[in-house]
Structure 1
Amino acid sequence: MSRNVDAKPGDVARLTDLTTGGVTQALDRLEKAGYVRRDRNPEDRRSVLIRMVPEGRRRVLEQHQSASQIMGRIVSAYGEKELALILDFFARTNRARVEHYQARFSGAF
Structure 2
Amino acid sequence: MFAGVSDDMQIARDEIFGPVISALPFDTLDEAVERANATPYGLAAGVFTRDVSKAHVISRSLRAGSVWVNTYHALDPAMPFGGYKMSGYGREGGTEHLDEYLHTKGVWIKLD
Q: Same fold (TM over 0.5)?
A: no
TM bucket, shorter chain: under 0.3
TM-score scaled by structure 1? 0.22
